[in-house]
Amino acid sequence: MSNIAGKAYAMNVITPIRWYMTWINRLIFKIALKNPETLKGLITLSLIHYARWVIVPRSGFPRLDPSQPKEDLQYSYMLFFSNFNGSWDQYVDSFTFAIPAGLDLFWKWNIRYPKSVPLTPFHKYIRHNQIDTLHYYNAYPMASSNDIKSAQKIKKALIDFNTTSVNKTPDDFLKDYNKLLIDLQHHFGDMKPTPIVSLSADAVKKRYLQSHLNSN
């Protein structure tokens, strides 16, 4: 199992929802899509790379051949996949404390959803319905989603600065350079492997070192 890839954690949650209530969820998701400000809480939390909600109708599991038994389900299912920075507890707790109403809106119609407040039943609900990842790949294990957004700003600023200021007199160059550093100060930072904060992260590191030993 490998829910961790560098600074990212892969969460998979599958929860049942009454098939005749899925239209409400679809409507809520559609409204959220059309009005991105409804997701402002998630953006402010700033710890997610990418996340998605997928509703699988009870007759919607892929069936590719007549030899494959047809699913006979009483509920539809909602899949939630997230790629976030930090630990499991930090992520789940930040939802509860920062955007509990939004969270309840997305899961409200799921069977036995306990609501995001109080915390302990919500923790149990997520743990109960979570599936571990077997292989998790992250193109930038050393970077958080904030690093990627900061890097985008630094690249643009660096190219602009190089175009406008590099051939000025040394004193004017320094003035612009100092302004550049002040403008970018919140975006700097040395990126390194994430500290080992859990037994799972330690296990991933050991697997990585072992695979390197095997290949050398």
Answer for which of 23, 26, 59, 183 binds another protein (CB under 8 A) is 26
Answer for which of 190, 195, 213, 216 binds another protein (CB under 8 A) is 190
Number of residues that bind another protein (CB under 8 A): 107
108 binds another protein (CB under 8 A): yes
2-to-83, 134, 211 alpha-carbon distances in Å: 13, 5, 14
Answer for which of 199, 213, 214, 216 binds another protein (CB under 8 A) is 214
187 binds another protein (CB under 8 A): yes
Answer for which of 98, 101, 117, 181 binds another protein (CB under 8 A) is 181
Residues 121-160 that bind another protein (CB under 8 A): 121, 124-125, 128-129, 131-143, 145, 147-152, 154-155, 158-159
197-to-4, 69, 88, 96, 205 alpha-carbon distances in Å: 11, 43, 11, 22, 11
Strand partners, 84: 9, 48
Nearer to another protein, 77 or 88 (CB): 77
Residues 194-213 that bind another protein (CB under 8 A): 204, 207-208, 211-212
Return all residues near 24 (Cβ < 8 A) that are at least 6 apart.
Answer: 109
Nearer to another protein, 45 or 87 (CB): 45
Alpha-carbon torsion angle 102, 106, 107, 110, nearest 10:
150
Answer for which of 20, 37, 62, 199 binds another protein (CB under 8 A) is 62
139-to-6, 15, 49, 145 alpha-carbon distances in Å: 10, 29, 12, 12
188 binds another protein (CB under 8 A): yes
34 binds another protein (CB under 8 A): no
Binding segment for another protein (CB under 8 A), chosen from 91-99, 170-178, 195-203, is 170-178
Residue with tokens 């998790």: 136
| Shortest Å, Cβ 89 to another protein | 19
The rounded distance, in Å, linking the Cα atoms of 57 and 22 is 8
| Shortest Å, Cβ 195 to another protein | 13
